[in-house]
Amino acid sequence: MECVMIPKTVYRFGVLGIALAMACSKAVDPEYVIEESVVTTPAGTEHVQVFVPASTFTMGSSDGPSNERPPHEVMLDAFYIDKYEVTNAQYLAFVEATGNEEPQYFRIEGFDRPDQPAVGVLWSQARDYCQWAGLQLPSEAQWELTAAGIDGRVFPWGNEPASESLCNFNFSSGPMPVGSYPNGASPYGAMDMAGNVWEWTLDEYQHTYYA
């Protein structure tokens, strides 16, 4: 008898705001292999996803703010995660199929392009979208591993300081279409893990969680 483990699949949701992801991970020399898959929702929209293999990594940072300390070792099973943030077009298909409410900024100029990330989405709305699709939001640990890998990098692309060629950190122009910064991809191929918009995770935030 053979047993097969199906890796979990998770979605990425934007919320209004900008964040530069910073993480400190175990200093090793991995060979990252980018593997993609496609998930189709009940409405027929597609999500390109990247595979993150089972890993042990150091979550948090000794150099970051207090809510990132102390660094601690985390073991995760393999999973798939969206390569891009959920777009307005993808979320609109969910709204039309289910009758759920549109997000707060859905019709506001500067936030309403089909290829921009859906923002102003409540955590409960993001959860409902994922449940409708038969999937789930990523945990904070899954998100951080996807963003930073296991080689001790500071940003998804490495240790080079953020620049306009790597991520959108100037929110005066609004969120950029997803995937606009391929040079800023994470080691597993996920886009926009730093800059553009904040993203929901499954976990409830607690300032002293790491303490």
**pLDDT, one tens digit for every residue, the chain (211 residues):** 222 233 445 556 654 332 223 233 333 345 688 999 999 999 999 999 999 999 988 887 777 777 767 777 888 999 999 999 999 999 999 999 999 999 888 889 999 999 999 999 999 999 999 999 888 999 999 999 999 999 888 899 999 998 999 999 876 678 999 999 999 999 999 999 998 999 999 887 766 665 5
Q: What is the pTM of this model?
A: 0.83
| pLDDT value at residue 18 | 28
Q: Which amino acid is at 60?
A: G
Respond yes or no on whether the N-terminal peptide bond of residue 70 is cis (omega within 30° of 0).
Answer: yes
Question: Is the C-alpha dihedral spanning 133, 139, 142, 147 positive or negative?
Answer: positive
| pLDDT value at residue 2 | 22
Q: How many CB atoms lie within 10 A of CB 101?
A: 11
**What are the two backbone dihedrals, phi and then psi, of residue 58, each rounded to the nearest 5 degrees?**
-95, 115
Question: Is the C-alpha dihedral spanning 106, 107, 111, 112 positive or negative?
Answer: positive
Task: Say which CATH class 3-204 falls into.
Answer: alpha beta
Q: How far apart are CA 55 and CA 74, in angstroms?
A: 8
Nearest alpha-carbon partner for 92 in 121, 69, 59 = 121
SS3 49: strand
The bridge status of strand 79-82 relative to strand 55-59 is: unpaired
Question: Is the C-alpha dihedral spanning 172, 176, 181, 184 positive or negative?
Answer: positive
Q: Which amino acid is at 203?
A: D
What is the crossing angle of helices 123-132 and 88-98, to 10°? 70
Q: Which tokens is 131 given?
A: 């449940």
Which whole-number Å values give the CA distances from 88 to 1, 40, 193, 207, in the listed order? 44, 16, 18, 31
Q: How far apart are CA 116 and CA 211, in angstroms?
A: 36
Is-contact 37 80, C-beta < 8 A? yes
Is-contact 19 195, C-beta < 8 A? yes
CA-derived radius of gyration, the chain: 17
